């Protein structure tokens, strides 16, 4: 079984500051890792994903994430945030065999002017 | 890219009535679709997994007679909330996997907000 822990429920940050949203997972099998973003009253949109290969993956809107197998982490980062990045961010893991996706509790990023 | 559309985006109904929510994959065939429920400021709770042409698999604690799921074609799954009550008010989201997906990436609908009066 897999589990996903997003360590911060809310992250307030000023515009143009860097941000890191933390995600740790546990799994007894190989997994794929995802970050999704949800804007108010909308569905989820894929930000980026790690399947294999380079541990640093780049996504849309200037976000990137680094897969760290030893620490079982997949933290999301952006060097300079914008007001429009205010949203809920979900980390998710999917086992490579059964494709059942487990979501973290979400982190609300609030960008202040 | 893969597009999933949900309809309606918002629905208000009276207690005791039934409401149907549609989830369509517009430009790909989805053999598997998922239905989630999201409470305010909470994560997504998987309700059920629907596979085209077979019965849905419900998660523990989800009443299958209350939340009827039908996946009659490779592009359409429906969720019917039967005899709705105010506690059924929530944001319902569907997602789909592509027919040839081998990564588990999900494509999400826009969500449907149900308010039961």
E-only strand ranges, chain B: 4-7, 10-13, 19-25, 32-38, 44-51, 57-58, 67-73, 76-81, 90-97, 107-108, 112-116
DSSP annotation of A7 reads S
Chain B, 75-114: which have a CB under 8 Å from a chain A CB?
91, 93, 95, 97, 101, 103-111, 113
- Kindly list the residues of chain A whose beta carbon comes within 8 Å of any beta carbon in chain B: 32, 34, 36, 41-46, 49, 51, 90, 92, 94-96, 99, 101, 103-106, 108
Q: How far is CA B21 from CA A5, A26, B6, B50, B76, in A?
A: 31, 34, 7, 14, 10
| Vertex A62 angle, CA A44 and B100, to 5° | 45
DSSP string, B48-72: EEEETTSPPEEPTT--TTTEEEEEE
Residue in A34, A41, A104 nearest the CB of B43: A104
Per the CB < 8 A criterion, the answer to whether B64 and B83 are in contact is no
pLDDT value of position B98:
67
Residue in B with minimal Cα distance to A89: B43
Residue in A44, A95, A96 nearest the CB of B108: A44
**Residues B111, A103: C-beta atoms closer than 8 Å:** no
B69 CB within 8 Å of a chain A CB: no
Residue in B43, B104, B111 nearest the CB of A103: B43
SS3 A61: helix
pLDDT tens digits, A54-112: 999 999 999 999 999 999 999 999 999 999 999 999 999 988 776 678 899 999 999 99
pLDDT tens digits, B36-61: 999 877 788 899 999 888 889 999 99
Q: Tell which residue, A47, A42, A104, has the closest CA to residue B43.
A: A104
d(CA A37, CA A43): 9
pLDDT value of position B101:
64
pLDDT tens digits, A7-38: 999 999 999 999 999 999 998 888 899 999 99
Residue in A41, A90, A105 nearest the CB of B113: A41
SS3 A62: helix
Q: Is the pLDDT of residue B104 over 80?
A: no
Over residues B105-115, the mean pLDDT reads 92
Residue in A with minimal Cα distance to B106: A46
pLDDT value of position A99:
66
- Identify the burial level of B104 via C-beta atoms within 10 angstroms of its C-beta, where 0-12 means exposed, 13-18 middle and 19 or more buried: buried
B44-51 and B32-38 beta bridge pairing: antiparallel
């Amino acid at each position: 079984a897999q589990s996903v822990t997003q360590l911060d429920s809310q992250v307030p940050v000023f515009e143009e500051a860097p941000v890191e949203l933390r995600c740790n997972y546990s799994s007894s099998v190989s997994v794929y890792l995802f970050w999704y973003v949800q804007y108010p009253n909308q569905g989820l949109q894929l930000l980026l994903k790690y399947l294999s290969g380079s541990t640093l993956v780049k996504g849309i809107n200037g976000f990137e994430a680094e897969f760290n197998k030893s620490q079982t982490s997949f933290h999301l980062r952006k060097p300079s945030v914008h007001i429009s990045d205010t949203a809920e961010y979900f980390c998710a893991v999917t086992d490579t065999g059964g494709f059942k996706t487990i979501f973290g509790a979400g982190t609300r990023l609030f960008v202040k002017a | 890219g893969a597009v999933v559309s949900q309809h309606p985006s918002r629905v208000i109904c009276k207690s005791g009535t039934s409401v149907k929510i549609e989830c369509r994959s517009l430009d790909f065939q989805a053999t598997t679709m998922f239905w989630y429920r999201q409470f305010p400021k909470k994560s997504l709770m998987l309700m059920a997994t629907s596979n085209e042409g077979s019965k849905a698999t419900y998660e523990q604690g989800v009443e299958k007679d209350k939340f009827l799921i039908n996946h009659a074609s490779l592009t359409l799954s429906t969720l019917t909330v039967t005899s709705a009550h105010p506690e059924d008010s929530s944001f319902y989201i569907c997602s789909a996997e592509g027919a040839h997906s081998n990564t588990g990436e999900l494509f999400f609908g826009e969500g449907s907000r149900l308010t039961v009066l």
